[in-house]
Amino acid sequence: MKQAPPPRARRRFGQNFLVDPGIVQRIVRHIAPRADDRLVEIGPGRGALTGPLLEACPNLQVVELDRDLVPLLLAQFASYPAFKIHRGDALKFDFARLLAETAGGGVLRIVGNLPYNISTPLIFHLLGFGRQIGDMHFMLQKEVVQRLCAQPGEKAYGRLGVMVQYHCRVEKLFAVPPQSFRPAPKVDSAVVRLTPHATLPLPARDVATLERLVNTAFQQRRKTLRNALKQLMAAESIEKLGIDAGIRPENLTLKDFVSLSDSLSEHAQTQGIQ
């Protein structure tokens, strides 16, 4: 009987399958999985990373959207009885339920070669699970990793970097060339580690207000703060915090954004009392 060919990468899912065993082993070394980890892989694809992870952590769980890949993965890793596949969209998946369904404490460790077209919204989705996640290791478009790591004044600095750095410690681990994938993408990739802070170094009074402020600021990043934030606060209120209202949002530190956010929250609370 002729064996069916493996499923092809689907453009609508943004699939680029990792095929370089050297890169796979390098990723696994950085993750350093343990047998008792609550390890979750997002988008296992054809299982290039799944196999080595299962060798170290036999109770690995994966989330896969492509229904054609599920039977392939089940057959490939049938010798691991604790291996479990959750078919669904990671952007809508309730990762907290993976802890609720297993006995004992601990946190989730998330791993994934993320499709470029969903990487940013997925990271924001995962940040919503807070202390239920211990760390995250992702293969991402190099440009996205640069945005995650960017500092004030750098071209890549923006909403993504500010909010992820508010929640996590960000470490770029290493770059990955296009030829490590099939099909080869037209961009370079990189592996990054995100470790949620056990205690936030710069806690905001209200995170929703911080998110709104940062989003508003970077929607008009080329404007000065007095113009970019004029719908939220007056220039005088910005200056009272020791922040120059004449600079651009890309020059603000995370501490500056938190200070502005706290001022907005305090003002809203005062108005509510009145």
Name the domain boundary from 196, 228, 250: 196
In a domain, 202, yes or no: no
Residues 101 and 232 reside in one and the same domain: no
227, 222, 219, 231: which is closest to 264 by C-alpha? 231
In a domain, 149, yes or no: yes
Name the domain boundary from 155, 176, 196: 196
**Residue at 64: amino acid letter:** E
DSSP secondary structure code for residue 89 in this structure:
-
The predicted structure's pLDDT at residue 14 = 46
**Residue at 82: amino acid letter:** A
Q: Kindly report, residue by residue over 92-141, the tens digit of the pLDDT.
A: 999 999 988 765 668 999 999 988 889 999 999 999 998 899 999 999 99
With 0.75 as the threshold, say if the pTM is over it.
Answer: yes
Residues 154 and 105 reside in one and the same domain: yes
Name the domain boundary from 168, 196, 224: 196
Residue 9 predicted with pLDDT over 80: no
Residues 212 and 185 reside in one and the same domain: no
Number of domains in the chain: 2
**Domain span at 45:** 11-196
Q: What is the CATH number of the domain that holds 81?
A: 3.40.50.150
The predicted structure's pLDDT at residue 102 = 67
In a domain, 222, yes or no: yes
Count CB atoms within 10 A of the CB of residue 77.
19
In a domain, 201, yes or no: no
Residues 237 and 133 reside in one and the same domain: no
In a domain, 224, yes or no: yes
